[in-house]
Amino acid sequence: MKYAKVRKEDGEKIRRKLGEAGKIAKGYPIISEAGFVFLPVIETKGLKYTIVEKAASSVEKPTLASLLKSKLTPRQLELLPGGFDSIGTIAILELPEELSAKGKHIAEAILKLHRNIKTVVAKASEHTGQFRLQMYKHLAGKKTKETIHRENGIMLKLDIEKVYFSPRSGTERQRIASQVKPNEDVLVMFAGCGPFTCVIAKNAKPRLVVGIELNPEAHKYSVINKNINHLENVTLYGGDVKKVLPRLGKRFDRILMPLPKTGANFLEVALKSAKKGAVIHLYDFQKEEDFPEATIEKIKKSCKKFKVLAAVLCGSYSPGVSRVCVDFKVG
């Protein structure tokens, strides 16, 4: 490999200059020896530095495929996932059937490549039941399913098996928080471990954010998350929205309904707690070709007078079916 030999004190300046000119050979080490720095160069023409030949092999960053070359067949290497979701320090893999026996090797390679990941699990079920929970199989690293996730300026502590949480919805949470006006009273139905309540309370200036959650574990984490984020204007209730909400006797400026599968069944109870002119965010699963009409039809069944403010696609549920949100103004 050809190297430009420069004095150590000029090394950084010349490295930058050669880099800007596109003359540095990427993937090769910069060598420091006895008061000199040796910069790997792709061509020497026009360079006024001393050029020396040095034995050096490329130090290309390892990839998942390069780390697994000896453990997987070429066909299996092709099937490696291009990425993974992470919740806090836990990486969540979705492995095709052909790779399930290689899960441990893949997980160990991920731990080597990503210093921030301490645990690797594989999805072992779909989201099921009233609490929308998902099971995971531990593959490598620290044996825990509890972690602290960071997004939109907040921390969220949760157990990925005891609580529903999707790291992919961070942008959607930001979209909603950015609409909250100062001094609004906001209701988050189906609050989970508190991602919407915390993101709104932290990033907007509501008077009050109320969260209601049925799953006792999720409610427990929601309270922890209110506390670790030092949020004072958040009030949380454990229990069924249909029972808790009428007992509060309170009306809200904004109501979030993040329960896409069956959320529309709660529209009537939501409307009874909505101030005149309140904004409701109804989440739904919809086939792309039926969006947004089919979700708007669901709203019409419970609400006589409303104005659609926005209809957005905010995630994918299954092939051809999206997670969607319709924002509408009541009355």
Ligand X SMILES: C[S@@+](CC[C@H](N)C(=O)[O-])C[C@H]1O[C@@H](n2cnc3c(N)ncnc32)[C@H](O)[C@@H]1O
- Rounded Cα distance between 321 and 315, Å, is 9
Residue 218 or 234 with smaller CB distance to ligand X: 218
- Rounded Cα distance between 61 and 37, Å, is 22
Instruction: Name the segment binding ligand X (CB under 6 A); options: 44-52, 94-102, 212-220, 296-304.
Output: 212-220
Element (H, E) at 212: strand 208-213
Binding mask 266-285 toward ligand X (x if CB under 6 A, else -) reads --------------------
Q: Find the shortest distance in angstroms from Cβ 305 to ligand X.
A: 26
Q: Find the shortest distance in angstroms from Cβ 168 to ligand X.
A: 10
Q: Find the shortest distance in angstroms from Cβ 266 to ligand X.
A: 7
Instruction: Name the segment binding ligand X (CB under 6 A); options: 4-12, 185-193, 304-312, 315-323.
Output: 185-193
Instruction: Name the segment binding ligand X (CB under 6 A); options: 71-79, 140-148, 207-215, 291-299.
Output: 207-215
Instruction: Name the segment binding ligand X (CB under 6 A); options: 44-52, 139-147, 187-195, 287-295.
Output: 187-195
Q: Using CB under 6 A, which residues numbered 96 to 135 contact ligand X? A: 130-132
**Strands 85-87, 90-93: pairing kind:** antiparallel
Burial of 16 (0-12, 13-18, 19+ CB in 10 A): exposed
Beta strand spans in 144-184 (E): 146-151, 154-159
Residue 136 or 190 with smaller CB distance to ligand X: 190
Q: Given candidates 40, 141, 195, 206, which one binds ligand X under the rule CB under 6 A?
A: 195
The yes or no reply on residue 190 touching ligand X (CB under 6 A) is yes
What b-and-e string marks burial along 155-192, b requiring 16 or more CB atoms within 10 Å of the CB? Answer: ebbbbbebbbbbbebeebbebbbeebeeebbbbbbbbb
Q: Using CB under 6 A, which residues numbered 143 to 172 contact ligand X? A: 164-165, 169
Return the residue matching tokens 């959320």: 263
Q: How many residues bind ligand X (CB under 6 A)?
A: 21
Binding mask 215-244 toward ligand X (x if CB under 6 A, else -) reads x--x---------------------xxx--
Q: Find the shortest distance in angstroms from Cβ 307 to ligand X.
A: 25
For the beta sheet containing 85-87, the strands, ordered from the edge strand earlier in sequence to the opposite edge, are 85-87, 90-93, 119-123, 136-141
* Residue 68 near residue 90, CB atoms below 8 Å: no
* Residue 212 near residue 244, CB atoms below 8 Å: yes
- Rounded Cα distance between 89 and 56, Å, is 35
Beta bridge partners of 51: 4
Q: Find the shortest distance in angstroms from Cβ 237 to ligand X.
A: 9
Can you give the binding site for ligand X, defined by CB under 6 A? 130-132, 164-165, 169, 190-192, 195-196, 212-215, 218, 240-242, 258-259
